Each structure stands twice: as C-alpha cells, then as structure tokens.
Structure 1
Amino acid sequence: MNRFYLLFLVACLLFSSCQKQSYLFTSFREPATDGLHLAYSDDGYHWTDLGGGYLKPEVGGKLMRDPSIARGKDGMSHLVWTTNWKGDKGFGYASSKDLVHWSEQRFLPVMEHEPEVVNVWAPELFYDDENDRFVIIWASTIPFKFPKGEEDERNNHRMYYVTTKDFQTFSKAALFLDPGFSVIDCVIAKRKKNDYVLVLKDNTRPQRNIKVAFANDVLGPYQNVSEPFTGFLTEGPTVVKVKNDWLIYFDQYRDKTYGAVQTSDFKTFTNISKQVTVPKDHKHGTIIPIDARTLRKLKKRTPGAPK
C-alpha cells in the first residue's frame, strides 16, 4: 500500500474519531453533598455512569442539586446548580473549557432583592444563539405574591429568569412564567427560529407531573399548556434531540427510577422507559452533546482527584 495513502487513511480515522458525537448527562446523588455526577451515551438511549465528585459544591448551602449545563459559541461550558433547599437567594455557578478543570465557584444572588423569597430551585441554562446570550430560569416562592390555590404559601412556585452574555453582568430577575398554578423544573427547547417549547412540572398537589407549553420567543409568553404526558410524582425533565426525535427524560421519584418519552412534535408522546438505561440513583440533570476527545478525557479523570 502506498505510504502516503496509508498516512491519509490514518489521518481520516483520527479525524473521524475526534468528530464522533456522544452525549453527556449531568446529575447528582442524594444527599447532594459530593458534587457533580456524570454519565455518557453514544446513542442518547443507553447511559454509562462516569462516577461523581467532578465538582464538589463550595458555595451557598454547599449542596449540588439539579446541575444544568450549556455551552456557548466559544465552546466554554457553563454549569449552574441548586445550593440549598431553602434560605439561599441564588444558585451556584462554574465554567470549564474541557469539563475536567473547572473555574472557581461563585454564588449568583439573583433573588437578593426579594426579602421574603423562600428558595431558588433548579436553575436551568439555555444558550440563546439568536442573541448570543444565556437565559437562566429557576423556580422560587414568594409568599402571598400569587393566588394560593391548593398550595401552601411557602410552596407556591413561579418561574423567574435572568439573561447574561458573560456571567459577570446580569439582567434584573423578572417573572418568566405564571401559568396560574405552582410550577417548577422548567427546561427550554428550541425547534427552529421563533418556535420554542417549555417542558415544565405542574407542582400542584393533585398533578405533580410534566407538561409542555409553547412560545414564539425564548422569553415567552409560553401558552397552551398541554395535558400531562407523565404519571403522578414525576419531575426534573431534560430534553435532548436524537436524530429526528426529541427524548424527554424525567425522574419518577416515588419509584426511584428514571423514565423517558419520545416525541417528534411535542403533541404525541411515546413512553420508552423500558428502552432506555440510566445509572442507578441518577437524579435531575441536563444533557449536552460532546465529542470523542472530551469523552476520553473524562473517562481518564478519576472523580475527586486533584486537578
């Protein structure tokens, strides 16, 4: 075989290996004190545990729940997470170029202007490519601010948001979603320009299941809330597009298992829970695509080891 042709084949194989896309799923484990856990998948359906301790929480109440990750156009990965059940008026933040070495953690006090706020739960990152900015949404309770309904005043959540381009300056926190009921655990999915879907948990006592709503702008208003497509006591949804379908993973927290549905239009949902495999005790996180080189680095890294 011609030597130059052989070198060309080797280069093509190396390039192909580097370009191969896999998926990374962030999560945590109870009691949420040991930090970031990761899992990976080559097909979006079957997940392999990469272990935990990748980023030990050091800010706020020093918990790490609901770790949400997103990447900007520069390739930098950004992570936000819940730092406490109650009391903290913000959430944790860190960034990384390679998902192995992380920046110093910071506490972002997005609700410090609300003296009565009970909590800041499940911050979710979304990269708004049309405006080159990040949108961060989360659930908070401010007692007596909204009609009570069936919920206790300290458990009547609505969704809030800020935007940022650099994670140094932020817009003032504002109301993101008031669907007329207590709502938490929202995640934004973009189908195309001016076409957004919000996956949300109806947190009212008789519901506690997952629904979707729709908008023409990333900041809403999100309307036409659907009927639930998951069972009772489900939460923590995350969304990933695999080929032509969208997969929505969610925590079936009563059964301590993970479920998933498949949809192409966010109107008809097929339960595929028996077709997916998720690591035991996996909890609320988000999914991003990663390349083969990054995945190899993560596999070599011993969780909790010095950086």
Structure 2
Amino acid sequence: MTLKEIFIAFAFLFFLNVASAQKSNDVYMFSYFMGNGEDGLHLAYSYDGLKWDALKNNQSFLTPQVGIDKLMRDPCIISGPDGKFHMVWTVSWGEKGIGYASSEDLVHWSEQKYIPVMEHEPTARNCWAPEVFYDGDSKQYLIFWSTTIPGRFPETESGGDSGYNHRMYCVVTEDFKNFSDTKLLYDQGFNVIDGTLIKAKNKYVLFLKNETRTPPEKNIRIATSKKLAEGYSRASEPITGDYWAEGPTSVKIGQYWIVYFDKYTDHNMGAIRSDDMENWEDISEMINFPEGTRHGTVFKVSNKVLNKLK
C-alpha cells in the first residue's frame, strides 16, 4: 500500500468514527480556564477526543463571583443523576473554601456558592484543584481538593514550591447543601495535588500529581482503592513522560482510557492512553486543543446540549 493510500484509509476511518459519534448522540466536552482564571469558564467539544473546538469563540461562559480573588481555576464539571451539571473550582490563591454552581444546560447557571471546606483549620493556606465525583454505589458526591497546613507533614515540608506541602482532603454530600466533616483523603508521604477519580475494574482509580519540587517530580501517577473515600494505595510509577504535567482528567473512548493533562511549562496540552490501565502510550502529538487551554475536566454531553451551546 502506498503512502497516499494509507493516508486515504486513515482519513476514511477518522470520518467514520466522527460520523458514528455524531449519530450516537454522544459528544465529549472539556471545561477549562485560560490565563489565571480571571474571566471564568471556557468550554470546548470533540467527537473523537482528539480534535477539540472552542465554543463561543473561546470566550467565557460564566464569570467568577465568589472568593476574594474571584478566580475560576481548575473547573471540574460532572453530569449528575439529577439531570444537572455540577461544577467546583478554585476561587482564590489563599482561601479556605472552593466554588460551586450547577446548571441544566451549561448556559444558565445557579447562583455561585462558596463552600468553606477548610475553615476549621486556622492555619490552612489554600484550597486548590477541587474535583467532584458521583458515586453510584453510595449515591453520594465526593468533593476533594488539596490544601497545605504548615507543620502538619514536616517530613516533606522542604520539598515543595514556596513552602506549599499539599495533601488531599474531602467531604461527601447528597445535595450540595449538607456536607460531611472534612477528612484526609490521600497521604502517602509526598506532596500531592490535582486528583481526579474514575471507577474501573470494580476499583476507584485516583490519578494524581506528585507535586514534589526538590528533587523534582511533577508527574502524574495512579492510586487505587476498593472504597470511595479511604484506603488508597501507594502511588504507581509515573505514567507521564520527561516533562512537567498537572491537572489530569480521564475518559474512556472505545477500548482506551485517555488521560489529558496540562504540560504547563511547555504551554500546551498532553495526553496518554491505555487499554489495560498499566501500559501507557503518549498520544500528545495526536491531540489539538484551543490555544491557551489550561487544565480542566472531560465529560460527556448530548448533541442537544451541544447545539444549545452553539
């Protein structure tokens, strides 16, 4: 087969995949922020998980209104069983709470809410990179994030950036009005941030960033547990390559689990994929995101939702 014939065959398969996705009523959506998160929520869509197109000419869909700094960094959106999209985000560089809002169509949003998840810790420095995950077994939402509490984990205090020494904390809720007490979710003896959660092979799979600066790590790893909010394993070896990566988010497309992340020092997005959650292939050269995309969350919507966004 000639090179031209191979190219034609590949293009034909790509067209079939896109046509099939369009017909199946499934669209992949990506929530993200730009710059420092000042202007709010951005959205892009894809039919194949590789080529992503910005909506609204890459302008914001929602302006941040809560928090001292009024930022909307790390926007995490999931589709709940109640027919609503639920979003949490980082509101500030130095506050003890996170942002929350909900929507039925990603266009019209509820009043933004500040959830004071770490107000009980007088010396807590921050609440960064919150995520929300719906657990069908317990019918609860898990909200988790990373916080630095000076002196709480002294063995790793000297290895972070500017004295930050994060661990992951969490609450659970059924209605985003009543929340459990905050508890420690993940501590395996290193500075950790940017967790994202999926359910696969009857396990909870936590993708996370080793945030250690000295000696430098800055990579994505995996931990697993049989329970939603406790018992997570020691982290795997890095699944990302020889670059700094943060903000992982994952979705299964066909036979592959794809993990997208922010190659933040290279100022572009990266991705890896695996069909067994053990062997990972870097597909960063295959993806295309809108210019200026910072990390967020991948999730599925219907064509009806996409058409309204357009």
Instruction: Normalising by structure 1, report the TM-score.
Output: 0.89
Name the structure 2 match of 1:4. none
1:154 shift after superposition = 3.5
% identity of equivalent residues: 47
1:70-97 residue CA offsets vs partner (Å, 9 max, x unmatched):
12112111011001111x1101110001
1:254-274 residue CA offsets vs partner (Å, 9 max, x unmatched):
110110000122211000001
1:251 to 259, 262, 287: 262
1:148 shift after superposition = 3.3
Q: Is residue 172 of structure 1 aligned with residue 172 of structure 2?
A: no
1:284 shift after superposition = 1.3
Name the structure 2 match of 1:239. 250
Name the structure 1 match of 2:237. 227
Q: Is residue 217 of structure 1 aligned with residue 227 of structure 2?
A: yes
Give the Cα–Cα distance (whole angstroms) in 1 for the partners of residues 27 and 199 of structure 2: 20
Name the structure 1 match of 2:120. 113
Name the structure 2 match of 1:126. 133
Q: Which sits farther off after the overlay, 112-121 or 273-282?
A: 273-282
2:191 to 182, 186, 196: 182
1:86-132 residue CA offsets vs partner (Å, 9 max, x unmatched):
1x110111000111100010100010100000000000010111111
- Structure 2 counterpart of 1:200, which letter? L
Give the Cα–Cα distance (whole angstroms) in 2 for the partners of residues 23 and 280 of structure 1: 18
Name the structure 2 match of 1:85. 93
Are residues 190 and 37 of structure 1, via their aligned partners in 2, closer, same or farther at CA, if it must alter by over 3 Å?
Answer: same
Name the structure 2 match of 1:74. 82
Give the superposed CA RMSD. 1.5
Q: Is residue 207 of structure 1 aligned with residue 217 of structure 2?
A: yes
1:32 partner SS: coil
Contact 1:200-1:237 within 8 A present in 2 as well = yes
Give the Cα–Cα distance (whole angstroms) in 2 for the partners of residues 192 and 76 of structure 1: 26
1:31 shift after superposition = 2.5
Name the structure 2 match of 1:24. 29
1:155 partner SS: coil
2:109 partner SS: coil
- Structure 2 counterpart of 1:175, which letter? L
Contact 1:18-1:291 within 8 A present in 2 as well = no
1:192-213 residue CA offsets vs partner (Å, 9 max, x unmatched):
43x1211000000110111111
Contact 2:22-2:47 within 8 A present in 1 as well = no
Name the structure 2 match of 1:33. 38
2:101 partner SS: strand
1:118-161 residue CA offsets vs partner (Å, 9 max, x unmatched):
00000001011111111011000000001332325831100000
- Structure 1 counterpart of 2:188, which letter? P
Are residues 208 and 120 of structure 1, via their aligned partners in 2, closer, same or farther at CA, if it must alter by over 3 Å?
Answer: same
Where structure 1 has 5 or more consecutive residues not aligned to the other structure, the ranges are 1-15, 300-307
Q: Is residue 63 of structure 1 aligned with residue 71 of structure 2?
A: yes
Where structure 2 has 5 or more consecutive residues not aligned to the other structure, the ranges are 1-20
1:20-49 residue CA offsets vs partner (Å, 9 max, x unmatched):
101110000013111100000011121111
Give the Cα–Cα distance (whole angstroms) in 2 for the partners of residues 297 and 18 of structure 1: 17
Give the Cα–Cα distance (whole angstroms) in 2 for the partners of residues 265 and 171 of structure 1: 34
1:17 shift after superposition = 6.9
Q: Number of paired residues?
A: 282
Instruction: Normalising by structure 2, report the TM-score.
Output: 0.88
Q: Is residue 296 of structure 1 aligned with residue 307 of structure 2?
A: yes
Q: Which sits farther off after the overlay, 164-173 or 208-217?
A: 208-217
Give the Cα–Cα distance (whole angstroms) in 2 for the partners of residues 53 and 132 of structure 1: 32
Runs of 4+ in 1 over 4 A off after TM superposition: 16-19
Q: Is residue 161 of structure 1 aligned with residue 170 of structure 2?
A: yes
Name the structure 2 match of 1:9. none
1:224 shift after superposition = 3.6
Q: Is residue 191 of structure 1 aligned with residue 200 of structure 2?
A: yes
Give the Cα–Cα distance (whole angstroms) in 1 for the partners of residues 180 and 108 of structure 2: 28
2:159 partner SS: coil
- Structure 2 counterpart of 1:97, which letter? E
- Structure 1 counterpart of 2:73, which letter? R
